Amino acid sequence: NELGLVAVGFCGGQGKSGVDAAPMALIESGLVEQLREELEFNVHYDGEVHQYAEIIPKEDPDYRNMKNPRAVSAVTQALSEQVYEHARQGRFVLTLGGDHSIAIGTISGTAKAIRERTGREMAVIWVDAHADINTPETSDSGNIHGMPVAFLTGLAKEDKEDCFGWIKDDQRVSVKKLVYIGLRDIDRGEKKILREHNIKAFSMHDIDRYGIGKVMDMALGWIGSDTPIHLSFDIDSLDPMWAPSTGTPVRGGLTLREGDFIAECVHETGSLVALDLVEVNPSLEAHGASETVRAGISIVRCGLGDTLL
Ligand code: ARG
Ligand code: MN
Ligand code: MN
């Protein structure tokens, strides 16, 4: 059981500092030892929380309404290479963020490696309060953590090499292979995009109506068996009761158990190839972020099959 771990201390996809400290907080809570000893993974980890300081440009004016476009582009391009290298060697890839903009790097990396290794198109399950599918033009905030899915699906494109022009077709995923779970705070422009492209989305309303068990059956049914899956888990999908330390909390979210259950179900398919855990911000919780960090560790363990008999 080979696992590649990438720790990404990056917060430039949004405005609040602190989310860059999450990988260290998760690792200090003993996550790596748990992966090695309890879950018996052979963990390939360079022992570093990457800050990418050497590649972040000093000058980074807004471009197409995006904030820090060159920084996010450079970091995600480097991350894409790291993730690709792990996935190419057949390792499961666990990435600890960082804000959700880093998914541009992780998913582009796995999508390309999976294509090369299996000739198949990878599916993405995006668990989040938000859709993160704004284009630079539909975004109100200009924060790139609200745009990764647009770049990954090609709904947003850019020729300028240092502003995501590096993303090529073999690193993209199809909107048909994308499934959302947990949505409850979607911008107007995003709703239009979701409707126009017929993107599969299970909102909190659907979870209330059908229950999480049925929703997972439907979500995995949409993807179909035997399709490699990348799970991108934003901790703000959980209700702030369980995960208060996050930059853009939205009430009315998943319980801790529903979050764990999602990760367990995806693990059970046997098709999970990568997991991102993002948007944990230890600095936003009064008593040391222990709750949110613990919730994050729980999600990771469930995604790796820990809680299944
Ligand atoms: N939709 C809002 C925006 O585009 C919020 C995005 C929040 N994203 C996140 N990864 N937490 O700015
Ligand atoms: Mn979110
Ligand atoms: Mn997100």
**ipTM > 0.95, yes or no:** yes
Predicted structure pTM score: 0.98
Q: Is 234 a catalytic residue?
A: yes
Pocket mutation for ligand 1, best pick of 248, 276, 279, 281 (most atoms within 8 Å of C-beta): 248
Report the separation in Å between the CA atom of 140 and the middle of ligand 3, taken as the mean of its atom positions: 15
User: How many angstroms separate the alpha carbon of residue 234 from the centre of ligand 3?
Assistant: 5
In Å, what is the CA distance from 308 to each residue of 95, 127, 211, 270?
22, 20, 20, 12
Of 60, 86, 99, 100, the catalytic one is: 100
Q: Any alpha helices (H) in 3-161, and if so which ranges? A: 22-28, 31-33, 69-88, 103-118, 148-153
298 and 257 Cβ atoms separated by less than 8 Å: no
Torsion angle of the four alpha carbons 25, 41, 306, 103, in this order, in degrees rounded to the nearest 10: 50
pLDDT in tens, 9-67: 999 999 999 999 999 999 999 999 999 999 999 999 999 999 999 999 999 999 999 99
Active site residue 217: no
Q: Could you read off the pLDDT of 196-211 as tens digits, one per residue?
A: 999 999 999 999 999 9
Tens digits of per-residue pLDDT, 152-210?
A: 999 999 999 999 999 999 999 999 999 999 999 999 999 999 999 999 999 999 999 99
Cα(209) to centroid(ligand 1), Å: 25
d(CA 156, CA 136): 7
Which residues line ligand 1 at a C-beta cut-off of 6 Å?
100, 130, 132, 134, 139, 141, 143, 145-146, 187, 234, 236, 248, 279
Give the three-class secondary structure for 142.
coil
Torsion region of 224: left, alpha or beta (phi above 0 gives left; psi -120 to 50 gives alpha): left
pLDDT of 288 above 80:
no
To test the pocket of ligand 1, the residue of 64, 140, 143, 232 to mutate (highest count of ligand atoms within 8 Å of its CB) is 143
